[in-house]
Amino acid sequence: MAETNAAVNQTKIHPYYTPQVDSNGSSINADGSFSGVDDPIPIIDYSMLTSDDHNQRSKTVQDLQNACLEYGSFMVINHGMSDSLISRVYEALAKFFDLNEEEKKEYESNDPMDRIRWGKRDNDLVSSEFIKMAVHPTFHCPTKPTGLTEVLHECVKRLREVGIQLLRGISTTLGFEECYIEKRMKLESGCDFITPNDYPLRPYSENQLGQAPHYDPGLLILLLPGLSNGLQLEHHGKWINANPQPNSIVVSIADQIEILTNGKYKSVFHRVVLNNNVRRISLPLFIGRSLDTMVSPLPECVDEHHPPAYLVKTYKELLEANQYHEIDVKSCLKNVRL
C-alpha cells in the first residue's frame, strides 16, 4: 500500500548542509586512506520545486541550475518518499544479499537477454556485491526473498516520479518548456535500471573502495545512499564527501545530460569509499532514454561559439558498439567526445 503524504517527514530547508564530520584530506592520504573533504553540496527542496507558488518554484529552479553548473550533483529533500518505505527497501535488500550464494548465483549470467544480473567486485582495492535489474519500461526483480518485488516496485515508481520532475526542472533551467527532455528522449519507453549495492562490514579487509572512480551512464542517477556515508564526488580537483542527510536522495548528472547540453552540465566523476566497520546498502536508479533516440547535443545547445563536442549515434548503436546492453551499460563519454 502506498504511503500517504501525512507519513512523510518534512525537513527544514537550509541553503547548504554541512555535517560535523572530521576530514583528513582530498585523495589517497599519507596514511593510505581515501578520506575526502567535507565541503557541503547543494540541497534541492522537492516540495518547493513542485509548489503551486510561482516564486518558490522559480527560486528552486535557479538553485537547481546552480547545482547542475557548479557540482553536477545535489541532495533532494522533502521528496515525498516516506521514511517507512525507504527503511523497508534497505531491509528487503539486506535479506536478498543475505541469501546463500547458490540462490544468488541463479542470476550470475552474461546472457544479453537477461534483465537481472548478480555479481561481486573484489579486486584492486575494491569490494562490493550488486544486483542489477531492468525496471522500465518493464519491471524485473528476483523472486526471493518474499516481499522484495513489491517494495522495490513501489520504490522505483516513487523514485522515477521524482526523477521526471527533476528533468522537467532541468529542462526549464536550459530555457526549454518543462517536458522538452522528457518528450525528446521518449522517457515513456526509456530504459531504466537499478543496481542495489551491498558494501559489507569487513574490518580486516585491505580493500578500501566499494567502487573505483567512474562516470555513470543515463540521464540522471537518483541514489538512496544507505545508512552510512561512502559516496565521494570529484569537485575542482579534490574528492568531497556527499554526506547525505538521513533519507535524502542524492542526484547526479550522468553522461547523457552532458551530451544533450553539449557539455554545459557535466557528468559527475565519483567513487565509493568503504567504511569497514559499518555495512552499507545503497540503491541507485539510472534513468535512461529510449533505445531509438539520438545521443547527440541538442540543436539549441550548439552555435558558432559552442560547436558540437560529441558524436551522433542512437542509444542502441552506442550500446552495441561498446558490446553493452540495457543493464550492463557503462559510461560512453570517452567514445563520443570529439
Whole-model pTM? 0.87
User: How many Cα atoms within 13 Å fall on the side-chain side of residue 303?
Assistant: 4
Report the pLDDT value the prediction gives residue 327, as an integer from 0 to 100: 60
Question: Residue 12, Cβ neighbours under 10 Å: how many?
Answer: 7
- For residue range 118-143, what is the model confidence (pLDDT) as tens digits? 998 877 667 789 999 999 999 999 99
- For residue range 41-86, what is the model confidence (pLDDT) as tens digits? 999 999 999 999 999 999 999 999 999 999 999 999 999 999 999 9
Report the pLDDT value the prediction gives residue 335, as an integer from 0 to 100: 75
- For residue range 4-29, what is the model confidence (pLDDT) as tens digits? 333 333 433 333 333 333 333 334 55
Among candidate residues 180, 250, 256, the one with its CA nearest the CA of residue 216:
256
Torsion 166-264-63-220 (CA) sign = positive
Between strands 209-214 and 192-194, the pairing is: unpaired
Distance CA 77, CA 42 (A): 11
Residue type, 261: T
Q: What angle in degrees, to the nearest 10, is found between the helix axes of 148-173 and 54-70?
A: 90
For 197, phi and psi rounded to 5 degrees?
Answer: -120, 140
Residue type, 199: Y
How much helix, strand and coil, in percent to the nearest 5, is found in the chain?
30, 25, 45
Question: Residue 5, Cβ neighbours under 10 Å: how many?
Answer: 8
Among candidate residues 62, 52, 51, the one with its CA nearest the CA of residue 15:
62
- For residue range 212-249, what is the model confidence (pLDDT) as tens digits? 888 988 899 999 999 878 899 999 989 999 999 989 99
Torsion 311-316-322-325 (CA) sign = positive
Question: Residue 121, Cβ neighbours under 10 Å: how many?
Answer: 18
Q: How far is C-alpha 6 from the chain's CA centre? A: 27
